[in-house]
Amino acid sequence: MYDFTPLIDAITNYLNENFSPFWAGTISMVLLGIVVLMFYAILGLYLVYAERKICARMQNRMGPNRVGPLGLFQTIADLIKLLLKELIYIRNADNLLFNIAPFIVIVASIMAIGAIPFGKGLQALDLNIGVLYILAISSMGVIGILIAGWASNSKYSVIGAMRSGAQVISYELSVGLAILCIVTYAGSLQFSEIIASQQDGWWLFKGHIPAVIAFVIYLIAGTAETNRGPFDLAEAESELTAGFHTEYSGIKFAFFFLAEYMNMFIIAAVATTMFLGGWLPFHIYNWQGFNRIMDFIPPVFWFFGKTAFMIYIMMWFKWTFPRLRIDQLLALEWKYLLPINIMNLLLIAFLTLMQWHF
């Protein structure tokens, strides 16, 4: 009912008929770029707003409520402030790397958005190795963080960057293995096919307990990969003042900040796609009327609803737990998550082999 494929096809056909292939490609790329960038900026800002509101509610506060109704324009005002702020020049910093680092971080997260399916046909890149693409791109951001820490010529920054490096390298494994569990179930690395395989039930429900375990591990490892609390060791406000972005100001800091929130969105979106059926509506077996009503809700709403729920859980983590120490963080990964994950993957492979999932 809500299929975006004809719309996208119509645009593509129109461009192909009226322009030479080169220009058609260029225009479609520019259009796509603008759409993704707008989406990125607006979503990033409102994720910041959402986090401030959610944490305020958890802490018996009101949260931002001065700028606009319910404080809705607060983060936009913040962005304008950050845009107008002076970019502080750091003496003895490696200028080229210092300036390039925020862009690496933000480009990595923009690139990852391209592969996320927001609805049927509403996907910029439906690669046949979409899962691998996301995993590869999302771990690129850490290069930017490492560069930022190194180039700032500050000890706090270096410590933060090294922590971040160690953290992302180890938690990348758990994220990958947890996703592999679903890939094993679905038998495909393509996002559209993984979603199609959940037509009769989300993997979280029909994947038995191993899928639930994989989901929890993915959630923990995903939170760690985005450098968010309780795994925000790279920033570690009370220890390293601000970690890798101590020396950044103005819009360059805003880039790091936005990228953190968008990474969180990407992690949540991938979790939605892999475990919660992506943009598919919630169906209960044999309840025809209920299923019909659910079908009326557009898939984009389903996708964003599920993603928002995942994001809420990640924020809930952050505002409840104390921060781990670096050795405990690594112990958690290598001593707990990774062995459990590997056993889990074996179990899932066995289940798939025996066709025991629904």
Partner 1 sequence: MALLKTIKEIGKYFYEIYDAVTSSVRGMMVTGSYFVRPSTIVTQQYPENRDTLKMMDNFKGELMLIHDENNKHTCNVCNTCARRCPNGSIEIIYKKVEGADGRSKKILDKYIYHLETCSFCGLCVPACDEFALKFDQKFELAVFDRSKLTKVLNMPGSSSKAMKE
Partner 2 sequence: MEETLLDIDLKDKEEYFINMGPQHPSTHGVLRFEVCLQGEKVKYLIPHCGYIHRGIEKMCEHLTYPQIIHLTDRMDYLSAHINNEAVALCVENSMQVEVSDRVKYIRTIFAELTRIASHQLWWCAFGMDLGALTTFFYGLRDREKILDIFEETTGSRLTQSFITPGGLMADVHPNFQKRVKDFIAYFRKKLPEYDQLLTGNIIFRARTKDIGIMSKEMAIDFGVTGPSGRGSGFECDIRKIAPYSAYPFVKFNEITFPTGDTNSRYLVRIAEMWESLNILEQLVDNIPQGSTMLELKAIKAPKGEFYQRVETARGELGVYIVSDGGPSPARIKFRTPNFSNLFVINKLAAGHKIADLVAISGSLDLVIPDIDR
* Min dist. Cβ of residue 320 to partner 1 (A): 5
* Min dist. Cβ of residue 173 to partner 1 (A): 18
Residues 175, 220: contact at Cβ < 8 Å? Answer: no
Contacts with partner 1, 283-322, as mask; x by CB under 8 A: ---------------------------------xx-xxx-
Using the rule CB under 8 A, give the single segment among 24-32, 41-49, 119-127, 154-162 that binds partner 2.
Answer: 154-162
The reply on whether position 238 binds partner 2 by CB under 8 A is: yes
Nearest CB to partner 2, comparing residues 112 and 332: 332
* Residues present in the chain in total: 358
Nearest CB to partner 1, comparing residues 57 and 155: 57
Rounded distance between C-alpha atoms, residue 114 and residue 307, angstroms: 16
- Name the one residue in this structure whose structure tokens are 């179930």: 185
DSSP character at residue 243: G
* Min dist. Cβ of residue 49 to partner 2 (A): 17
The reply on whether position 53 binds partner 2 by CB under 8 A is: no
**Cβ neighbours, 10 Å, residue 7:** 11
Rounded distance between C-alpha atoms, residue 40 and residue 38, angstroms: 5
The reply on whether position 70 binds partner 1 by CB under 8 A is: no
Using the rule CB under 8 A, give the single segment among 76-84, 151-159, 206-214, 243-251 that binds partner 2.
Answer: 151-159
The reply on whether position 288 binds partner 2 by CB under 8 A is: no
* Min dist. Cβ of residue 310 to partner 2 (A): 20
The reply on whether position 325 binds partner 1 by CB under 8 A is: no
Residue of 187, 264, 278 whose CA lies nearest to 229: 264
Q: Of 62, 96, 342, 346, which one interacts with partner 1 (CB under 8 A)? A: 62
- Give the distance between the most distant pair of CA atoms in the chain: 68
Rounded distance between C-alpha atoms, residue 110 and residue 138, angstroms: 10
Rounded distance between C-alpha atoms, residue 203 and residue 301, angstroms: 19
The reply on whether position 229 binds partner 2 by CB under 8 A is: yes
Rounded distance between C-alpha atoms, residue 230 and residue 331, angstroms: 15
